[in-house]
Amino acid sequence: MNQKILAMAGAMLGLAFFAAPAAALQNDMFDLETHQPLVQNPAALDGGQPQQSAIPRETVDWKGSQAPGSVVISTTERRLYFILPGGQAVKYGVGVGRPGFEWSGTKVVSNKKEWPDWTPPSQMLRRRPDLPRHMKGGPDNPLGARAMYLGSSLYRIHGSNEPDTIGQAVSSGCIRMTNEDVMDLFERVKVGTRVTVMR
Protein backbone atom coordinates (compact mmCIF):
# COMPACT_ATOMS: atom_id res chain seq x y z
CA MET A 1 0.00 0.00 0.00
CA ASN A 2 2.74 2.44 0.99
CA GLN A 3 4.68 1.57 -2.15
CA LYS A 4 1.60 2.40 -4.30
CA ILE A 5 1.17 5.76 -2.56
CA LEU A 6 4.87 6.57 -3.02
CA ALA A 7 4.70 5.62 -6.71
CA MET A 8 1.63 7.80 -7.25
CA ALA A 9 3.25 10.73 -5.44
CA GLY A 10 6.40 10.32 -7.54
CA ALA A 11 4.37 10.32 -10.75
CA MET A 12 2.50 13.47 -9.69
CA LEU A 13 5.77 15.23 -8.83
CA GLY A 14 7.15 14.23 -12.22
CA LEU A 15 4.12 15.68 -14.00
CA ALA A 16 4.42 18.89 -12.01
CA PHE A 17 8.11 19.13 -12.86
CA PHE A 18 7.51 18.80 -16.60
CA ALA A 19 4.48 21.12 -16.60
CA ALA A 20 6.18 23.93 -14.69
CA PRO A 21 8.58 25.13 -17.41
CA ALA A 22 5.75 25.52 -19.96
CA ALA A 23 3.70 27.58 -17.51
CA ALA A 24 6.73 29.69 -16.64
CA LEU A 25 7.43 30.34 -20.31
CA GLN A 26 3.83 31.33 -20.87
CA ASN A 27 3.94 33.83 -18.01
CA ASP A 28 7.11 35.38 -19.48
CA MET A 29 5.60 36.00 -22.94
CA PHE A 30 5.22 39.67 -23.84
CA ASP A 31 4.21 41.57 -26.95
CA LEU A 32 7.52 42.37 -28.63
CA GLU A 33 6.55 45.94 -29.41
CA THR A 34 4.38 47.12 -26.53
CA HIS A 35 5.90 44.92 -23.77
CA GLN A 36 2.36 44.10 -22.66
CA PRO A 37 1.91 40.53 -21.37
CA LEU A 38 0.35 38.09 -23.78
CA VAL A 39 -2.82 36.21 -22.94
CA GLN A 40 -2.10 33.80 -20.11
CA ASN A 41 -3.95 30.93 -21.76
CA PRO A 42 -3.96 31.42 -25.54
CA ALA A 43 -6.49 29.15 -27.23
CA ALA A 44 -5.52 26.52 -29.74
CA LEU A 45 -6.05 27.53 -33.34
CA ASP A 46 -6.78 25.75 -36.63
CA GLY A 47 -8.77 22.91 -35.16
CA GLY A 48 -8.55 23.66 -31.45
CA GLN A 49 -10.80 25.76 -29.26
CA PRO A 50 -11.45 29.19 -30.80
CA GLN A 51 -9.67 32.17 -29.29
CA GLN A 52 -12.20 34.12 -27.26
CA SER A 53 -13.16 37.28 -29.10
CA ALA A 54 -12.76 40.49 -27.13
CA ILE A 55 -15.56 42.03 -29.24
CA PRO A 56 -18.12 39.63 -30.73
CA ARG A 57 -18.28 39.42 -34.52
CA GLU A 58 -21.71 40.26 -35.92
CA THR A 59 -23.60 40.90 -39.16
CA VAL A 60 -25.02 44.42 -39.33
CA ASP A 61 -26.87 46.67 -41.77
CA TRP A 62 -24.60 48.72 -44.05
CA LYS A 63 -25.60 51.97 -45.71
CA GLY A 64 -22.24 52.96 -47.24
CA SER A 65 -21.45 53.14 -50.96
CA GLN A 66 -18.61 50.60 -50.88
CA ALA A 67 -18.98 47.56 -53.12
CA PRO A 68 -19.57 44.08 -51.70
CA GLY A 69 -16.28 42.35 -51.05
CA SER A 70 -14.50 45.52 -49.90
CA VAL A 71 -13.24 46.37 -46.42
CA VAL A 72 -13.86 49.55 -44.42
CA ILE A 73 -11.99 50.28 -41.18
CA SER A 74 -13.14 52.98 -38.77
CA THR A 75 -10.18 53.77 -36.52
CA THR A 76 -12.24 56.02 -34.24
CA GLU A 77 -14.86 53.31 -33.81
CA ARG A 78 -12.15 50.61 -33.79
CA ARG A 79 -14.17 48.35 -36.02
CA LEU A 80 -13.59 46.66 -39.38
CA TYR A 81 -16.45 46.01 -41.82
CA PHE A 82 -16.40 43.43 -44.59
CA ILE A 83 -19.13 44.51 -47.00
CA LEU A 84 -21.67 41.86 -47.99
CA PRO A 85 -24.28 41.98 -50.76
CA GLY A 86 -27.76 43.23 -49.87
CA GLY A 87 -26.84 46.16 -47.65
CA GLN A 88 -25.10 44.20 -44.89
CA ALA A 89 -21.59 43.85 -43.49
CA VAL A 90 -19.67 41.61 -41.12
CA LYS A 91 -18.45 43.80 -38.25
CA TYR A 92 -15.27 42.90 -36.35
CA GLY A 93 -13.52 44.53 -33.41
CA VAL A 94 -9.97 45.66 -34.18
CA GLY A 95 -6.97 47.25 -32.52
CA VAL A 96 -5.59 50.31 -34.33
CA GLY A 97 -2.56 52.62 -34.32
CA ARG A 98 -1.71 54.28 -31.03
CA PRO A 99 -1.32 58.10 -30.83
CA GLY A 100 1.26 59.23 -33.35
CA PHE A 101 0.70 56.16 -35.54
CA GLU A 102 -2.81 56.89 -36.84
CA TRP A 103 -3.37 56.95 -40.58
CA SER A 104 -6.15 56.92 -43.16
CA GLY A 105 -6.48 56.28 -46.86
CA THR A 106 -7.26 53.58 -49.39
CA LYS A 107 -5.09 50.53 -50.02
CA VAL A 108 -5.53 47.17 -51.70
CA VAL A 109 -4.70 43.76 -50.30
CA SER A 110 -1.47 42.92 -52.10
CA ASN A 111 -0.69 39.61 -50.41
CA LYS A 112 -2.11 37.12 -47.90
CA LYS A 113 -0.15 34.75 -45.66
CA GLU A 114 -1.02 32.04 -43.16
CA TRP A 115 1.12 32.04 -39.99
CA PRO A 116 3.35 34.76 -41.47
CA ASP A 117 6.97 35.38 -40.54
CA TRP A 118 7.68 38.78 -38.99
CA THR A 119 10.57 41.03 -39.98
CA PRO A 120 10.33 44.30 -38.02
CA PRO A 121 10.75 47.30 -40.36
CA SER A 122 13.81 49.51 -39.95
CA GLN A 123 11.70 52.31 -38.44
CA MET A 124 10.54 49.98 -35.66
CA LEU A 125 14.06 48.66 -35.08
CA ARG A 126 15.30 52.21 -34.58
CA ARG A 127 12.69 52.66 -31.85
CA ARG A 128 13.21 49.17 -30.45
CA PRO A 129 16.74 47.89 -31.19
CA ASP A 130 16.12 44.97 -28.81
CA LEU A 131 13.62 43.36 -31.20
CA PRO A 132 14.59 40.25 -33.18
CA ARG A 133 15.59 40.90 -36.80
CA HIS A 134 13.33 38.07 -37.96
CA MET A 135 10.80 35.76 -36.33
CA LYS A 136 9.31 32.63 -37.89
CA GLY A 137 5.54 32.35 -38.07
CA GLY A 138 3.69 30.52 -35.34
CA PRO A 139 1.41 30.98 -32.31
CA ASP A 140 3.93 33.25 -30.52
CA ASN A 141 4.53 35.50 -33.54
CA PRO A 142 3.14 39.07 -33.15
CA LEU A 143 1.41 38.79 -36.55
CA GLY A 144 -0.74 35.94 -35.32
CA ALA A 145 -2.47 33.33 -37.46
CA ARG A 146 -3.03 35.33 -40.67
CA ALA A 147 -1.86 38.55 -42.31
CA MET A 148 -3.23 40.60 -45.21
CA TYR A 149 -0.66 43.05 -46.55
CA LEU A 150 -1.87 46.50 -47.59
CA GLY A 151 -0.26 47.58 -50.86
CA SER A 152 3.43 48.45 -50.62
CA SER A 153 2.94 50.03 -47.19
CA LEU A 154 4.31 48.70 -43.91
CA TYR A 155 0.74 48.13 -42.71
CA ARG A 156 -1.13 44.87 -42.41
CA ILE A 157 -4.38 43.50 -41.14
CA HIS A 158 -3.16 40.68 -38.93
CA GLY A 159 -3.97 38.41 -36.03
CA SER A 160 -2.87 38.87 -32.45
CA ASN A 161 -2.33 36.70 -29.39
CA GLU A 162 -3.62 39.55 -27.23
CA PRO A 163 -7.42 39.62 -27.57
CA ASP A 164 -7.59 42.08 -24.67
CA THR A 165 -5.99 44.74 -26.92
CA ILE A 166 -8.77 44.52 -29.50
CA GLY A 167 -10.81 47.73 -29.39
CA GLN A 168 -7.78 49.73 -28.28
CA ALA A 169 -5.21 52.00 -29.97
CA VAL A 170 -2.00 50.06 -29.33
CA SER A 171 -0.23 49.22 -32.60
CA SER A 172 2.31 51.00 -34.82
CA GLY A 173 -0.38 51.46 -37.47
CA CYS A 174 -1.29 47.87 -38.28
CA ILE A 175 -4.86 46.68 -37.79
CA ARG A 176 -5.05 43.90 -35.19
CA MET A 177 -7.76 41.28 -34.91
CA THR A 178 -8.23 38.21 -32.75
CA ASN A 179 -6.80 35.15 -34.44
CA GLU A 180 -10.29 33.68 -34.73
CA ASP A 181 -11.59 36.81 -36.49
CA VAL A 182 -8.59 37.26 -38.78
CA MET A 183 -8.95 33.65 -39.96
CA ASP A 184 -12.61 34.34 -40.77
CA LEU A 185 -11.75 37.55 -42.66
CA PHE A 186 -8.84 35.85 -44.44
CA GLU A 187 -11.25 33.40 -46.08
CA ARG A 188 -13.50 36.25 -47.30
CA VAL A 189 -10.85 38.68 -48.59
CA LYS A 190 -9.10 38.25 -51.93
CA VAL A 191 -5.84 39.73 -53.19
CA GLY A 192 -6.88 43.01 -54.82
CA THR A 193 -9.60 43.76 -52.25
CA ARG A 194 -10.03 47.49 -51.66
CA VAL A 195 -9.45 48.56 -48.04
CA THR A 196 -10.59 52.03 -46.89
CA VAL A 197 -9.22 53.27 -43.56
CA MET A 198 -11.12 56.20 -42.02
CA ARG A 199 -10.19 58.28 -38.97
Give CA separation, 186 vs 22, 50, 60, 157, 191, in Å.
Answer: 30, 15, 19, 9, 10
Nearest one of 152, 64, 144 to 108, comparing CA atoms: 152
Q: How far apart are CA 174 and CA 181, in angstroms?
A: 15
Q: Is 134 a catalytic residue?
A: no
Q: How far apart are CA 109 and CA 147, in angstroms?
A: 10
Q: How far apart are CA 39 and CA 171, in angstroms?
A: 16
Strands (E), 14-86: 58-61, 71-74, 79-84
Among residues 109, 170, 174, 177, the one annotated as catalytic is 174
Among residues 158, 166, 184, 195, the one annotated as catalytic is 158
Q: How far apart are CA 46 and CA 163, in angstroms?
A: 17
Q: Is 35 a catalytic residue?
A: no
Catalytic residues: 158, 174
